Structures are given as C-alpha cells and as structure tokens.
Structure 1
Amino acid sequence: MGTWKSRGLRGSLLEEELNQTISLYREKNLALIQKIPTPITPIELDKSHKQITLAYFDRKSTVDYVGVVQGIPVCFDAKECHKDSLPLQNLHAHQMDFMQDFMKQGGISFIILSFTQRNEIYYVPLRELLRFTKRMEEGGKKSFRYDELECSHRIYRKKDLLVHFLEALNEDILLLNEMSKTEYYG
C-alpha cells in the first residue's frame, strides 16, 4: 500500500462534530453508527512519541462511517473542502465501489461534505456523486462545484447536534421511496 505523511488534522473538525452528533444519536436511540478506523502501520513518531508522522496503509479502507438508522443501513464518508469545489480524486474508486455495493444490499450511501470557507455542510447522496463521476469518465470536469449540487441537502446545527444529518437522510429516503431504484440512481 501507499505511505501517509501527516498534513495536520485534515477533516478533524468535521469528524469531531460528526462523532459528537453520532454519540447523541445513540444516546437518544435514533441511530447506531460507528467510525471505521483506517488501518495503518506506524513508521515514524514525533519527538513526544504521541503523534504518528509517517505510516503505511495496511489496506484500502472503505468509508468513514457505517451503521443503522431506525432499521436502515447507512454508510458514508466525511469530506472537507476549503474552496468551492471538490476534486473527484478525493472520492477514491474503492470507496465508490463500496458505497455502490452497499446500496445494492439495500443500504443508503452518501458523503457529508463541509465547505469550510462558507461554513456550510451538505448531505450529498451517492446518486449525485455517480453523476459527477460519470461526467468525469466521459471527459468532463474532474471536480464538482458548490453551485452544481442539485440533490444535496444542507445540514443545519440543532442545539447540541452539530451535524444533524438525519433530516437530510430522511428527505433522501422519502425520495427513494417515491422513485424506482433505477430512477433514483440514474
């Protein structure tokens, strides 16, 4: 596998807020979701021996989170972008394959995308990611822009729920129930 060199804690704020939200979802019996650790082998530590600065990926990971929401299996990845576009190379092929396979088993797959400069977070369903990926494969753009998000749902904070994505997930499930799977996924 490849090597990993720390570039700070990229994505750590979004993931920390997600982890807090997921913990509250569990306490309220709304969802049971787990953070999936990325399998790495440490090679180099900082001077205090508390931080990994160089490591090898043991194998490709799948997505950041997997779980169940009121009986519905979900899997998703957390992504942050500091500009108004997300390079599709940030959505790794093995992750997209996993999300598609998960969907084929009756689950819901999506990403939670934070536009940090705008201080906005969105639920982006797999069908939208597949549309952007198909466009790229046909020779189009290798990224997608903030203003291209059509099917996405903005996620708002609600009291102590910092990334309250269940409302957006519910809207997506309602849409899926109205359409056939072929229509929904294009």
Structure 2
Amino acid sequence: MGTWNTRGLRGSALEELINRSNESYREKGLALIQKIPTPITPISIDKESRHITLAYFDQKSTVDYIGAVQGIPICFDAKECSACTFPLQNIHPHQVAFMEEFESQGGIAFIILSYTQKNEIYYLPLDHLKGFWKRMEDGGRKSFTYEEVDKTWRIRSFRDIFVHYLEMIQKDLNRRD
C-alpha cells in the first residue's frame, strides 16, 4: 500500500483539461466518461480543518477514466511526462492487465500522455504500450522516448474541448476494422 501525498497530484493539470473535455463531450451527448477516484483509508485527520493529513491507498487502482463513447466502452489513464523519456514504472502491471482484459471484452483502452515541456499530448493505443512493455520484460529499456511515440496520434484541442481524444478513438477503431 502506498501513502497518499502530493505525488498523487502530479497529473492534475492534464486531468483538469481532460475533465473539462469530458464535460463538453457529455453536454454535447458525444460521450459519458467518469474519473475514477482512487480509494483511500484516512489515518490522520486535522480536527480543525477536517482535512485528511495522512492516508493509505485501499487497493490497486485500475485506470483514471472509464466510460462510453457512442456505445463503445473505453478506459484510459492520464500520464504527464516532463522529460523526453517516459519511465514505464509510471504504469503498473495491474493497469496493463486491466486494460488487456477491458479490450478482450470489446472495449478500447489507451493512455493519454502529455509531454509538458513540449506542450504536446498523445494518444498511446494499448498495443503501442504493450510493445514498449514487452521490450522492457525482454530485458530492454525500462522507458520509451518522445522520438518513439507515433506523432500521427497527437491529440489537438478543438473549440471548448482542450483534449479532443475522440478523433484518436475513431482512428483506433478504423485500424481495427
């Protein structure tokens, strides 16, 4: 079990953009996507402010978001990367296993990855992630580089949708047919 602290808030800027995008999708009737809260057990609570000052994660979380787009189940995790190399330790084996099981049930699983210094956001399909994951398991790099990410999967903004990932879901569906 991990301790709850500010480390868990590292992806909050990206998540805020995704949350606003999901709200626009919901308002337009395009998708219904929910942020999955990480379950915690409070250990210490400040009695005056009633804020949790120490807590532990109850269980391994699966992914950050889950929902449906026009009847298609989707799940994804949001990750931020401040360097040009993304460490695979930031994605846990149980998350990859969950996404594989999700896709085996007919859903679409992916990572939304923000390169904060470049101000670029990418859709990383599960099969691309699994390629990097297999390389690591076979004794290769424990990370992947910005250069290795397929730039045709870049997510752009569109009007009031800051992280318009529905276009990439359509691209993902098209290549599966």
Matches within 5 A, 1:81-100: 81-100=81-100
SS in structure 2 at match of 1:4: coil
Matches within 5 A, 1:156-171: 156-171=156-171
Paired-residue identity, %:
62
SS in structure 2 at match of 1:117: coil
Partner of 1:79: 79
Matched, 1:19 2:26: no
**CA–CA distance in structure 2, aligned partners of residues 134 and 140 of structure 1:** 8
Q: CA deviation at 1:45?
A: 5.0
Matched, 1:110 2:110: yes
Partner of 1:183: none
Partner of 2:137: 137
Contact 2:35 2:66 survives alignment (8 Å): yes
Q: CA deviation at 1:41?
A: 1.3
Deviations 1:44-103 (A, max 9, x none): 457973654431010111100001101111000000010011110111011101000000
Structure 2 residues without counterparts, runs of 5 or longer: none
**CA–CA distance in structure 2, aligned partners of residues 151 and 170 of structure 1:** 16
Contact 1:122 1:154 survives alignment (8 Å): yes
Q: How does the TM-score come out when normalised to structure 1?
A: 0.89
Deviations 1:107-155 (A, max 9, x none): 0000100000000000000000000000001110000011101376101
**CA–CA distance in structure 2, aligned partners of residues 79 and 68 of structure 1:** 20
Instruction: Tell me which amino acid in the other structure corresponds to 2:72.
Output: I
Q: CA deviation at 1:3?
A: 1.9
Contact 2:122 2:151 survives alignment (8 Å): no
Deviations 1:148-176 (A, max 9, x none): 01376101111110000001111111011
Instruction: Tell me which amino acid in the other structure corresponds to 1:96.
Output: V
Structure 1 residues without counterparts, runs of 5 or longer: 178-186
Partner of 1:181: none
Contact 1:120 1:154 survives alignment (8 Å): yes
In the comparison of the two structures, how many residue pairs are matched?
A: 177
